Chain A
């Protein structure tokens, strides 16, 4: 087999509860600012989207109207990433750029659902009631705003990204595997340049409903991820995170410098039948990353749910010299977007020569004195899936 191609992160696009764009998010992280809302969705804590002017990346109102918030956030962040990489508007490159999106589904019409359920619960709805209500009350294009693969579709339409297009679903694991597959394709010469990423809208009662089935939602009060022993759960967040990754040769030929190198992405699905399996899985993934030297750090999407978070803490405790940061504390839990968020922050930190300060007093997050040269991004799914990536300073 020929030498694997070196792959660079050349564009990062980020829109979140902390702000729009790299500088706003970086500044918020440096200042330790967190945007958690305990009231609007009480008793659940969510991280709402910061004020975003969608016109800036989705200029046609008609396009914006075809989407709900999830797809708007994603299409917006995708635009930021393309700008960041210097490919926005470059029809030649965009026409052959590959996409791997990690996605869930789009927003339900809560009012329609509630009306139907109330009528049904009263017990006097005729047989065709559901059909008639859905046929007359659903906006016909809402389905397109809900379809998992239509985030990719909207990115193609709005930004002209037209190479291959794949959408992965599967909660947190969709994020690990989108990065893994996109990287593998470029490393093997099956692709030159790819857009990877996703979006999450945390201001959604239909998502709170799904996660409440499993009692996964953080209630009442925001606390950092590492301080949730007495109060387990995640606070869903609103984030759009996208990266442009490309082969070193492709980037060099068009004269761009990288944020960082995406060296390795590994993932697995442990059975989680016995205690300790998650820790074992994380150890196994770690051993597949290659050597981690001084100047290393860990960015984890740890959720604050159990037993996952405790098992991850056991694993992290085996690397006590490495500074750790929980992205879930700062951004909330963004499910299929969390891993890409971590990759973007890792690339940003390496390129700016600093890791943002610790986020709580639990002691899990220690100070980092010098610039990070290697950052391991960790993802442990609240229900299934483990993933890791190694992001390094490009030589």
Chain B
């Protein structure tokens, strides 16, 4: 039995349940099999017309039906599936009664085009103004659209379904959101507010406007053919990220509470750190200081040194800039070891799951610790000679892994890192 408190006197936070859904499949088992086989979930888009688009592929989740279809409805269903799996594994609470708070990373919610078009037809005349649309919205026919398209709608459903306690929190820190959800849970347990927290991230924004928005910022890969090869983190010919859908969920508990009820201990959240970049809305500071600072802060929070990290689950979006910045900053923190520590990008296979990424990748990091096997960075055919990472190219590798740093660096300068271990540090 380990000490229930860490070296700073805080309750040790453990993971007792995990769940995930990605374009590779639903559930940890299917995902792990495909991740270690180096498979890609990226496909040519069939969900909507692709004429006029520069990027025509994504990691959509088309095997989960949602009727009537909305992106927010799909993100809700994905969160539900991932959370169901996590809670079932943790064996905690009862159906509809989860004994802790909910921290849920979600994409911003808004009315979507099919519903907007439905409203446009409901106006009943041609050549209408936006005022006519607003008029047509009232009168009660579309009450469900208010509830569906307010920001809090997904967390409302999830908290009602799973019976989480208190006011559910919906959050966003762009691409770092999933990690932030986990960090909020860790902090609440460390404060002694709760013994258990449900932390999840979900993303299902592959719709026409979602794709166009990122495309207009030149952030997306346009290497559409073959789609499976588009996401090329750390490669010389990388050209941007691939949008994807997914959800990841963790049940976090204090070590003491987990042991007391005989819960499975799947791993430890040894440390979390976060630091904001004030340089630019989409680009990192060229000196890398906020990202370096974020990683260092996380090591300090975990009470660990860089030498103790034996695997990095990178942000690895495959944008020309991120991957270069990631090597530069990782080298600063880890020195020469940056060339030796396996540094991989799950996004090569599941794409960029944006609001879910931090959570999905935390689950994959924990599975890596469990199986002592590192999923590869695929599509690594032409290495970028200036990025001297050992990316575990193309084929999974058995390795001794004791501590994983999982990094997420978001639009708007929000950087977050987690350190996950098997045993308390």
Whether the pair B151, A213 counts as a contact (CB closer than 8 A) is no
Distance A166 CA – B166 CA, assembled complex (angstroms)? 19
Distance A114 CA – B117 CA, assembled complex (angstroms)? 10
B1 at interface by CB-CB < 8 Å? no
Whether the pair A156, B111 counts as a contact (CB closer than 8 A) is no
A71: min CB distance to chain B, Å: 10
Query: Which residue in B50, B135, B184, B278 is a CB contact (below 8 Å) of A156?
Result: B278
Whether the pair B412, A153 counts as a contact (CB closer than 8 A) is yes
A268 at interface by CB-CB < 8 Å? yes
Query: Which residue in B53, B128, B137, B169 is a CB contact (below 8 Å) of A181?
Result: B169
Grouping DSSP codes into helix (H, G, I), strand (E, B) and loop, the A interface class, with mixed when no group exceeds half, is mixed
The residues in A between 333 and 383 inclusive whose CB is less than 8 angstroms from any CB of B are: 383
* B contact residues around A130 at 8 Å (CB): 49, 113, 208-209
Interface-located stretch among B23-31, B34-42, B269-277, B369-377: B269-277
Best-surrounded residue of A149, A156, A208, A214 (most CB of chain B within 10 A): A149
Query: Which residue in A113, A121, A148, A213 is a CB contact (below 8 Å) of B137?
Result: A213
A66: nearest residue on chain B (CB-CB)?
B281
* B contact residues around A240 at 8 Å (CB): none
- Residues of B in contact (CB 8 Å), total 86
* A contact residues around B213 at 8 Å (CB): 138, 143
A110: nearest residue on chain B (CB-CB)?
B130
Query: Which residue in B52, B117, B187, B277 is a CB contact (below 8 Å) of A162?
Result: B277
Whether the pair A118, B146 counts as a contact (CB closer than 8 A) is no
The residues in B between 158 and 200 inclusive whose CB is less than 8 angstroms from any CB of A are: 159-160, 166-174, 177, 180, 184, 187-188, 190-193
Known: A150-B281, A162-B276. A215 touches B411 (CB 8 A): no
Whether the pair A114, B129 counts as a contact (CB closer than 8 A) is yes
- Residues of A in contact (CB 8 Å), total 80
Known: A148-B108, A165-B173, A167-B173. A267 touches B116 (CB 8 A): no
Known: A120-B120, A128-B49. A209 touches B134 (CB 8 A): yes
Known: A162-B278, A190-B190, A383-B150. A170 touches B131 (CB 8 A): no
The residues in A between 144 and 179 inclusive whose CB is less than 8 angstroms from any CB of B are: 144, 146-150, 152-154, 156-157, 160-171, 173-174, 176-177
Whether the pair B276, A165 counts as a contact (CB closer than 8 A) is yes
* B contact residues around A126 at 8 Å (CB): 51
* A contact residues around B260 at 8 Å (CB): none
B90: min CB distance to chain A, Å: 22
A271 at interface by CB-CB < 8 Å? yes
* B contact residues around A216 at 8 Å (CB): 146
Distance A147 CA – B106 CA, assembled complex (angstroms)? 12
Known: A150-B281, A156-B278, A214-B146. A167 touches B152 (CB 8 A): no
B215: nearest residue on chain A (CB-CB)?
A135
B155 at interface by CB-CB < 8 Å? yes
Distance A384 CA – B159 CA, assembled complex (angstroms)? 12
A212 at interface by CB-CB < 8 Å? yes
A198: min CB distance to chain B, Å: 12
B43: min CB distance to chain A, Å: 18
A269: nearest residue on chain B (CB-CB)?
B167
B140 at interface by CB-CB < 8 Å? yes
Whether the pair A168, B108 counts as a contact (CB closer than 8 A) is no
Known: A138-B216, A144-B282. A105 touches B170 (CB 8 A): no
B123: nearest residue on chain A (CB-CB)?
A121
Whether the pair B120, A210 counts as a contact (CB closer than 8 A) is no
Known: A157-B413, A164-B276. A117 touches B208 (CB 8 A): no
* A contact residues around B177 at 8 Å (CB): 149
A349: min CB distance to chain B, Å: 26
Complex A-B: 28 CB contacts under 8 Å: A108-B110, A114-B130, A117-B120, A118-B120, A118-B128, A130-B208, A134-B212, A143-B217, A147-B172, A147-B174, A149-B177, A153-B281, A153-B412, A156-B278, A156-B413, A162-B275, A164-B275, A165-B414, A169-B106, A173-B168, A188-B192, A210-B111, A211-B146, A212-B134, A212-B135, A214-B147, A215-B143, A385-B167
- Kindly list 6 other residue pairs between chains A and B, CB separation below 8 angstroms, not including A131-B49, A149-B414: A117-B117, A128-B49, A130-B49, A150-B412, A157-B279, A213-B138
Name A residues whose Cβ lies closer than 8 Å to a Cβ of B.
1, 44, 66, 99, 104-105, 108, 110, 113-114, 117-118, 120-122, 126-128, 130-132, 134-135, 138, 140-141, 143-144, 146-150, 152-154, 156-157, 160-171, 173-174, 176-177, 180-181, 184-185, 188, 190, 205, 208-217, 267-269, 271, 383-387
Top 9 A-B residue pairs of the complex, sorted by shortest distance between their CB atoms = A128-B51, A153-B412, A170-B152, A214-B146, A117-B120, A131-B52, A169-B151, A213-B146, A267-B167
